[in-house]
Amino acid sequence: MSGFGITVAFWILAALTLASAGGVMASRNLIHAVLFLIVAFLGVSGFFILLSADFLAMAQIIIYVGAISVLILFAIVLTPRAERDNSETSMVLPALLLGTTLAAVLLFVLYDANWNVTNVEPGLSAEVLGSALLSVWVLPFELASVLLTAALVGALMIVRRQEDEEGDSAS
Amino acid sequence: MLSFLATDHWYDLRDLANLYRVVLEGLDHIFPTGLVYVLTALLGFIAFFVVFVLPSQLYVGVYGERRLIGRMQARQGPNRVGPLGLLQPVADAIKLLQKEALTPRSADRLIMWAAPVLFVAPAILIFAVIPFGPRMVFADIPVSLMYFLAISSLPVIASFMAGWSSNNKYSLFGAMRIVAMSISYEIPLVLGLLAVSVLSGTMSLQGMVYWQQDIPTWMILIQPIAFAVYFIGVSAELNRTPTDIAEAESEIVAGYLTEYSGMRWGLFYGMDIAYALGASAFAATIFFGGWSLFGLEQWVPPWLIFILKTYLFYFVFIWTRGTLPRLRIDQLMSFAWKFLLPIALINLLVVAVERLIWTSNDLPDAIVWAFGAVNIVLMVGIVFIWAKVFKYDPKKRPTKPRLVNEPGGYRPVDLEQGGPSL
Amino acid sequence: MTLTLEHFLTVSILLFAMGLVIALSKRNSIGILMGVELMLNAVNLVLITFARFGESTMSITGHAFVAFIITVAAAEAAVALALVISVYRTRGTIEVDRLKLLRF
Amino acid sequence: MSEIVKTEPFVMNIGPQHPSTHGVFRVKVTVDGEQITDAEMVIGYLHRSMEKLAEERTYTQNIPFTDRTDYLSSMSNNLGYCLAVEKLGGLSVPARGQAIRVIMAELQRLASHCMGAGAFANDTGAWQTPVMWFNRERERILDIFEMTSGARLTCNYMRIGGVAFELRSGFEEAVRNLLPRLQQTIADGQELLAENEIFIARARDVAVVSPETAIGASLTGPMLRGSGVAWDIRKADPYSGYEKYDFQIPIGYKGDAYDRFTVRLEEMRQSIKIVEQALDDLPGGPHSTEVPLAFRPPAGEAYARIESPRGELGYYLISDGGPSPFRFHIRPPSLINLSVLKEMTVGASVADAIIALGSVDIVVGEIDR
Number of domains, chain D: 1
Distance CA D364, CA D310 (A): 12
Q: Of B61, B53, B58, B48, whose CA–CA distance to B82 is shortest?
A: B58
- Measured CA to CA in angstroms, residue C70 lies from A62, A63, B188 at distances of 10, 7, 20
**What distance separates the 2 farthest-apart alpha carbons in chain D?**
71
Among residues 110-149 of chain B, which lie with CB inside 8 Å of chain D? Answer: none
Give the type of residue at A53: A
Kindly list the residues from chain C whose CB atom is less than 8 angstroms away from the CB atom of residue A148. Answer: 71, 74-75
The mean per-residue pLDDT over the stretch B373-379 comes to: 85
Query: Distance between terminal CA atoms of chain A?
Result: 65
- For residue C103, tell me if it sits in a domain: no
- Name the E strands within chain D: 10-14, 26-32, 35-42, 158-159, 162-163, 249-251, 300-308, 311-319, 327-331
Q: Of C47, C5, C2, whose CA–CA distance to A118 is shortest?
A: C5
Topology of the domain comprising A1-91: Four Helix Bundle (Hemerythrin (Met), subunit A) (1.20.120)
Kindly list the residues from chain B whose CB atom is less than 8 angstroms away from the CB atom of residue D265. Answer: 400
Query: Predicted ipTM?
Result: 0.80
CB of C99 within 8 Å of a chain A CB? The answer is: no
Q: Is the Cβ pair B75, D354 closer than 8 Å? A: no
Kindly list the residues from chain A whose CB atom is less than 8 angstroms away from the CB atom of residue C63. Answer: 53, 55-56, 124, 128-129, 132
Supply the CATH number for residue C10's domain.
Answer: 1.10.287.3510
- Does residue B416 surpass a pLDDT of 60? no
pLDDT for res A19: 92
What would the 3-class secondary structure string for A45-85 be?
HHHHHHCCCHHHHHHHHHHHHHHHHHHHHHHHHHCCHHHHE
Higher pLDDT, B81 or D33: B81
Residue D260 sits in which domain range? 10-368
- Provide the total of helices (H) and of strands (E) in chain A, helices listed first: 8, 0
The mean per-residue pLDDT over the stretch A113-137 comes to: 79
Give per-residue pLDDT as tens, A117-126: 777 777 777 7
Please state the domain extents for chain A. Answer: 1-91, 124-171
- For residue D127, tell me if it sits in a domain: yes
- Does chain D reach chain A with at least 3 CB pairs under 8 Å? yes
Of D129, D202, D349, Cβ closest to residue B73: D129
Q: How many CB atoms lie within 10 A of CB B232?
A: 22
Q: Is the Cβ pair C11, A128 closer than 8 Å? A: no
The residue among D253, D263, D354 with the most chain B CBs within 10 A of its CB, best to mutate, is D253
Taking 70 as the pLDDT cut, the residues of chain D under it are 1-8
Give per-residue pLDDT as tens, B85-111: 888 888 888 888 888 888 888 888 888
CB of D101 within 8 A of CB of D158? yes
Distance CA C19, CA B277 (A): 39
Kindly list the residues from chain D whose CB atom is less than 8 angstroms away from the CB atom of residue A160. Answer: 4
Give per-residue pLDDT as tens, D244-256: 888 888 888 888 8
Q: Of B131, B105, B121, whose CA–CA distance to B284 is shortest?
A: B131
Chains that touch C (3 or more CB pairs under 8 A): A
Distance CA C83, CA C29 (A): 10
Distance CA D6, CA C86 (A): 10
Q: What is the DSSP letter of B128?
A: G
pLDDT for res D233: 87
Q: Comparing B252-256, C47-51, D342-346, which segment has the lowest mean pLDDT?
A: B252-256
Q: Comparing A156-160, B270-274, B356-360, D298-302, which segment has the lowest mean pLDDT?
A: A156-160
CB of D207 within 8 A of CB of D356? yes
- State how far Cα B29 lies from the chain centre: 41
| DSSP state string for B91-117 | HHHHHHHHS-----TTS-HHHHHHHHH
Beta bridge partners of B404: D249
Q: Is the Cβ pair D12, B169 closer than 8 Å? A: yes
Kindly list the residues from chain B whose CB atom is less than 8 angstroms away from the CB atom of residue A57. Answer: 150
Distance CA B181, CA B179 (A): 5
Q: What is the DSSP letter of D313?
A: E
CB of B126 within 8 A of CB of B277? no
- Does residue A36 surpass a pLDDT of 70? yes
Of C15, C58, C63, Cβ closest to residue A18: C15
Alpha helices for D125-242 (secondary structure H): 129-149, 171-189, 197-203, 211-216, 222-226, 233-236
Distance CA B132, CA B417 (A): 60
Q: Of D64, D30, D75, D41, whose CA–CA distance to D368 is shortest?
A: D41
pLDDT for res A170: 37
pLDDT for res B331: 83
Q: Is the Cβ pair D351, B251 closer than 8 Å? A: yes
- State how far Cα C3 lies from the chain centre: 25
The Cα of B53 is separated from the nearest Cα of chain D by a number of Å equal to 26
Give per-residue pLDDT as tens, D320-336: 888 888 888 888 888 88
Q: Do strands D26-32 and D35-42 pair parallel, antiparallel, or not at all (unpaired)?
A: antiparallel
Distance CA B76, CA A57 (A): 48
Task: Give the SS3 label for residue B384.
Answer: helix
Q: How many CB atoms lie within 10 A of CB B255?
A: 27
CB of B386 within 8 A of CB of B392? yes
Q: How many CB atoms lie within 10 A of CB D23?
A: 18
Of C63, C68, C70, Cβ closest to residue A124: C63
The mean per-residue pLDDT over the stretch B381-400 comes to: 77
Instruction: Spell A57-84 as b/e; 16+ CB within 10 A means b.
Output: bbbbbbbbbbbbbbbbbbbbbbbeeebb
- For residue D2, tell me if it sits in a domain: no
Kindly list the residues from chain A whose CB atom is less than 8 angstroms away from the CB atom of residue B184. Answer: none
CB of B178 within 8 A of CB of B239? yes
Residue C40 sits in which domain range? 5-98
Give per-residue pLDDT as tens, B10-25: 666 677 777 777 777 7
The mean per-residue pLDDT over the stretch A138-144 comes to: 88
pLDDT for res A1: 62
pLDDT for res A161: 62
Q: Is the Cβ pair D4, A80 closer than 8 Å? A: no
- CA angle B8/B14/B19 to nearest 5° reads 50
Distance CA D228, CA D251 (A): 5
- Does residue B422 surpass a pLDDT of 70? no
Handedness of CA C86, C92, C95, C97 (dihedral sign): negative
- For residue D205, tell me if it sits in a domain: yes
Distance CA C61, CA B367 (A): 36
pTM, whole model, 2 decimals?
A: 0.84
Distance CA B404, CA D154 (A): 33
Q: Is the Cβ pair B154, A35 closer than 8 Å? A: no
Distance CA D9, CA D38 (A): 10
pLDDT for res C54: 76
Q: Is the Cβ pair A38, B190 closer than 8 Å? A: no
Q: How many CB atoms lie within 10 A of CB C98?
A: 11
Instruction: Spell D133-149 as b/e; 16+ CB within 10 A means b.
Output: bbbbbbebbbebbebbb
How does residue B419 score in pLDDT terms, banded at 50, 70 and 90? very low
How does residue B68 score in pLDDT terms, banded at 50, 70 and 90? confident
Binding-site residues on chain A for chain B (CB distance < 8 A): 4-5, 29, 31-32, 35, 38, 45, 54-55, 57-59, 61-62, 65-67, 69-71, 73-74, 77, 125-126
pLDDT for res A166: 47
Number of domains, chain C: 1
Q: How many CB atoms lie within 10 A of CB A96?
A: 17
Alpha helices for B244-366 (secondary structure H): 249-252, 262-287, 302-323, 329-334, 341-360
Q: By CA distance, what is B158's nearest residue in A?
A: A35
Beta bridge partners of D329: D316
Kindly list the residues from chain C whose CB atom is less than 8 angstroms away from the CB atom of residue A30. Answer: 28, 30-31
- For residue D233, tell me if it sits in a domain: yes
Supply the CATH number for residue D221's domain.
Answer: 1.10.645.10
Query: Distance between terminal CA atoms of chain D?
Result: 43
pLDDT for res A15: 92
- Measured CA to CA in angstroms, residue B83 lies from A92, B87, D298 at distances of 67, 7, 67
Percent of chain B with pLDDT over 70: 94
Kindly list the residues from chain B whose CB atom is less than 8 angstroms away from the CB atom of residue D215. Answer: 409-410
Of A74, A160, A161, Cβ closest to residue D1: A74
CB of B367 within 8 A of CB of B222? no
- Measured CA to CA in angstroms, residue B259 lies from B116, B164, B169, B251, D184 at distances of 12, 11, 10, 15, 41
pLDDT for res C102: 58
Percent of chain B with pLDDT over 90: 0
Instruction: Spell B376-410 as b/e; 16+ CB within 10 A means b.
Output: eebbeebeeeeeeeeeeeeeeebbebbebeebeeb
